[in-house]
Structure 1
Amino acid sequence: MDLCVTIKGVSFLLQAGLGILANALVLLAYAHIRLAEARLQPVDAILCHLALVDLLLLLTRGVPQTMTVFGMRNLLDDTGCKVVIYTYRIARALSVCITCMLSVFQAVTVAPAAGPLLSGLKARLPQLLAPTFAALWFINMAVCIAAPFFSVAPRNGTVPPFTLNLGFCHVDFHDNLSYVLNGVAVSVRDFAFVGAMLASSGFILLLLHRHRRQVRAVRRSQGSTMETRAARTVLMLVILYSVFFGIDNVIWIYMLTVAQVPPVVADMRVFFSSCYASLSPFLIISSNRKLKARMVCATSEQERQAEDGKNSSGKN
């Protein structure tokens, strides 16, 4: 196997494997918290939902992409391509939407109550989570409904013009107008949500800066408050998403200018567009004390059971 292909395959394999494992651990840890505490805090519920859609994204894009790089062919038929591409498009859209939702939610949470309207909104935020999740799923399922109609299995190794070659599937737009309109629609949606998350994150930074002196004394005596830690996690997630979103869209804009996209360019876009889904769970775990506590407890319990098993064997 060619060295470049091997490096590309190992990169996709590590990205998909580690990302799937980390997102699954986040979901399992939150499931444990949900059973122990009867309900999740609003920020935890949003992070849990983010881990779910990122897991779906990696399963529907990272796994088949990795298999294709390693030379596996004819993975999916036309129906399989339609299902996988549709699920991937929804998961990718929800990833940016939920990150934006997280940033806006945290901005409202840390904002000082300036009147009855904001105070009432803060009190209602937990009740608004479920309807917001349902609305985001419904809207993105409707917006992405066109994706299955353009998705087909590869045929005879040829790639028609105005076609996104994913390796395991082709997204054939048939003409330049459909190709560009699809790209512009996706970009406008993504830029709108990224703009909202950047605006709300800037507001959070401004509030943290204004209250730095007041909070400093509290941090020294009691450690960072829960709201401050959550705000920092949100800011880091937004920065992480913005970096990879920028790289992804630079490549995407280039792809819109050519009728035949070179495979290496398409592979680069797939890799960078999946980086957020792979890295965000590690950031969530490292910055969330609840998750780390659950994982440490689970590890300690496994070690204790293993030690008990050894002791029982020794006695026998």
Structure 2
Amino acid sequence: MASGAVYIVIIFLVQIFIGTLGNLSLLGKYLFLFLTGYKTRSIDLIVMHLTVANFLVILSRGIPETMAAYGLKGFLSDFGCKFVFYVSRVSRGVVFGTTCLLGVFQAVIISPSNSRWAELKMKFPQYISTFTVLCWVLHLVLNISFSVSLTSSSKKKNLTNKIDFAYCSNPHTMKGIYAGYAVYTTIIDVLCMGLMLSACGSMLFILCMHKRRVQHMRRTSNSFRSSPETRAIHSILLLVSIFEFFYFLSCIIQIYVTFFSHSRILLFTLGAFINACFSTVYPFVFLIHGHYVSGICCI
């Protein structure tokens, strides 16, 4: 095995270990709270769905890439290729959708009672379960077409239009069809990203206004301490910044691979690593700062 492949194996193994540890720790935290009689809130349900999707992203991307970098050939059957890519695409979409839902939910909940969101504020928590299930169903349906034609890379087919994914290939997909699918998913992602950024901007505005209103009520002796609103703002900015950073890197690689690159395998490997980065980092950020983000719903 070449030295470059060794580094790839090590990087993916470290990512799998750290990501699995973080997401299982976050799930374990909520399981412990549930067993001790803690009443689950709507935001906790969103976080649990997001954590499960993150866990699936890490496993579906990291394990096959590690095995391919290790030098194993044809370790996935046709069904295995379809299943792995299907789980990867679905879980990635659910991560995006639930992150957007988390931002919108928080923006609605902390909106003033006299705002135009007042009626929605009372009803929104009741439909969180429905929204999370719909998010899974939507991506389960949308990603069928991409995975159905995938085959094992062990099948040698001399097709000029074949798209090689290192351990799987798509011999029936023309470049134009693949580009159309990439554009289609990108449009959905951009719409969700715009909604999420609008929700985060609304949250930051509301929290800043709240901090300004209550600032005169704080005692002078505590003025040097950061307020709960400030900590919540910093936590929201941190989560959104991490998500946007890895998402835009992933988009750049996907666009380059789709329209410009002829040698794709290394870039697909890099894209797989970047796609799983947010899922790896997120649980630790939420374990450290999540109580601030959750706490803004009580402000």
Scaled by the length of structure 2, the TM-score of the pair is: 0.87
1:37 aligns with 2:17: no
**Residues of 1 paired with 2:172 and 2:129: CA distance?**
35
CA contact (8 A) 1:103 1:238 kept: no
CA contact (8 A) 1:106 1:231 kept: no
Matched residue, 2:295? none
**Residues of 1 paired with 2:64 and 2:131: CA distance?**
31
Matched residue, 1:177? 176
Match runs of 1:31-70 below 5 Å: 31-70=31-70
Matched residue, 2:27? 27
CA contact (8 A) 2:150 2:170 kept: yes
Of all paired residues, the percent bearing the same amino acid is 27
Task: Look up the SS of the partner of 2:33 in the other structure.
Answer: helix
Give, in angstroms, the shift of residue 164 of structure 1. Answer: 4.2
Amino acid at match of 1:103: G
Give, in angstroms, the shift of residue 172 of structure 1. Answer: 4.0
Matched residue, 1:300? none
Give, in angstroms, the shift of residue 109 of structure 1. Answer: 1.4
CA contact (8 A) 2:111 2:118 kept: no
**Residues of 2 paired with 1:231 and 1:30: CA distance?**
24
Deviations for 1:163-188, whole angstroms, at most 9, x for unmatched residues? 44332222445312211111111111
**What residue ranges of structure 2 are gaps of 5+ in the alignment?**
293-299
**Residues of 2 paired with 1:180 and 1:97: CA distance?**
22
**Residues of 2 paired with 1:258 and 1:266: CA distance?**
13
Moved more, 251-260 or 128-137: 251-260
Task: Look up the SS of the partner of 2:143 in the other structure.
Answer: helix
Match runs of 1:127-206 below 5 Å: 127-155=126-154, 160-206=159-205
**Residues of 1 paired with 2:125 and 2:268: CA distance?**
40
Task: Look up the SS of the partner of 2:278 in the other structure.
Answer: helix
- Where has structure 1 moved over 6 Å in runs of 4 or more? none
Moved more, 152-161 or 123-132: 152-161
Task: Look up the SS of the partner of 1:194 in the other structure.
Answer: helix
Give, in angstroms, the shift of residue 262 of structure 1. Answer: 2.9
Match runs of 1:45-124 below 5 Å: 45-115=45-115, 118-124=117-123
Scaled by the length of structure 1, the TM-score of the pair is: 0.83
Amino acid at match of 1:130: S
Deviations for 1:69-108, whole angstroms, at most 9, x for unmatched residues? 1222222100111111111111010010000001111111
RMSD over aligned Cα atoms: 2.5
Amino acid at match of 1:131: T
**What residue ranges of structure 1 are gaps of 5+ in the alignment?**
291-316
Matched residue, 1:260? 262
